[in-house]
Amino acid sequence: MSASGQGVTGTIFDIDTFAVHDGPGVRMAVYLKGCPLGCRWCHSPESQDPRPELVFLADRCVACGRCVEVCPHGVHSVSDRGHELARRACRACFACVSACPADALRAVGRRVAAGAIVGKAGRLKPFFGHGGGGVTLTGGEVTAQPAFAAAILRGCRESGIHTAIETCGACPWDVLAPLAALSDLVLYDLKFVDGGLHRRHTGADNAAILDNARRLAGFNTVVRVPLIPGLTDTDANLDAIFAFMRGAGLSRVELLPYNPAAAAKYEWLGRPYGLAGAQPSPGRLAEAARRARAAGLDCHA
Ligand code: SF4
Ligand code: SF4
Question: Residues 218, 219, 220, 225: is their CA dihedral positive or negative?
Answer: negative
Do 171 and 274 belong to one domain? yes
**Within this chain, do residues 206 and 287 fall inside the same structural domain, yes or no?**
yes
User: Rounded to whole angstroms, how far apart are CA atoms 186 and 136?
Assistant: 9
- Ligand 1, from 61, 78, 93, 105: best to mutate by most atoms within 8 Å of Cβ? 93
Give nearest CA residue, ligand 1 atom 8. 71
Residues 247, 285, single domain; the answer is yes
114 closest CA partner among 245, 190, 5, 216: 5
Q: 80, exposed or middle or buried, with CB in 10 Å at 0-12, 13-18, 19+? A: exposed
Residue 3 lies in a domain: no
Residue of 12, 27, 33, 1 whose CA lies nearest to 113: 12
Q: Are residues 43 and 188 in the same domain?
A: yes
Please name which ligand lies nearest the alpha carbon of 87: 1
Domain extent, residue 66, equals 53-107
What spacing in Å lies between the alpha carbon of 59 and ligand 1's midpoint?
19
Are 130 and 33 part of one and the same domain?
Answer: yes
For residue 93 and ligand 1, the question of a CB distance below 6 A is answered with yes
The two beta strands, 76-79 and 82-85, are antiparallel
Q: Report the separation in Å between the CA atom of 53 and the middle of ligand 1, taken as the mean of its atom positions.
A: 9
Ligand 2 shell residues, CB under 6 Å: 61-67, 76, 78, 83, 99-100, 102, 104-105
Considering the domain architecture, whether residues 32 and 173 belong to the same structural domain is answered as yes
* Residue 4 within a domain: no
Compute the chain's Rg from CA coordinates: 20
18 and 58, same structural domain? no
- Quick one: 39 and 97 in the same domain? no
Query: How far is residue 80's CA from residue 298's CA, in Å, rounded to a whole number?
Result: 58
Where a domain ends, among 87, 107, 127?
Answer: 107
Same domain, 83 and 177: no
Write down the pLDDT at residue 1.
45
Residue 220: its pLDDT value, please? Answer: 97
Instruction: Indicate whether 128 and 162 sit together in one domain.
Output: yes
Domain containing 72 — which CATH number?
Answer: 3.30.70.20
**Domain annotation covers residue 144:** yes
Q: Give me the tens of pLDDT residue by residue for the chain, a chain 301 residues long.
A: 455 678 999 999 999 999 988 899 999 999 999 999 988 888 888 889 999 999 999 999 999 999 999 999 999 999 999 999 999 999 999 999 999 999 999 999 999 999 999 999 999 999 997 788 999 999 899 999 999 999 999 999 999 999 999 999 999 999 999 999 999 999 999 999 999 999 999 999 999 999 999 999 999 999 999 999 999 999 999 999 999 999 999 999 999 998 888 888 888 888 888 887 788 777 889 999 999 999 999 998 7
Task: Please indicate, yes or no, if residue 165 is contained in any of the structural domains.
Answer: yes
Give the span between the Cα atoms of 134 and 115, in whole angstroms. 16
**Ligand 2 atom at minimum distance from 65 CA:** 5
Count of domains for the chain: 2
pTM above 0.85, yes or no: yes
Indicate whether 80 belongs to any domain: yes
Establish if 2 belongs to a structural domain. Answer: no
Question: What burial letters (b/e) apply to 192-231, b meaning 16+ CB within 10 Å?
Answer: bbeeebbeebbebebebbbebbeebeebebbbbbbbbbeb
Verify whether ligand 1 is closer than 6 Å to residue 94 (CB atom): yes
Calpha distance 69→149 (Å, rounded)? 39
Query: Closest ligand 1 atom, CA of 54?
Result: 1
Instruction: State residue 210's pLDDT score.
Output: 98
* Ligand 1 atom closest to Cα of residue 92: 1
Q: Are 48 and 204 in contact (CB under 8 A)?
A: no
Q: What is the CATH number of the domain that holds 155?
A: 3.20.20.70
Does residue 61 sit in the same domain as residue 187?
no
Are residue 187 and residue 234 in the same domain, yes or no?
Answer: yes
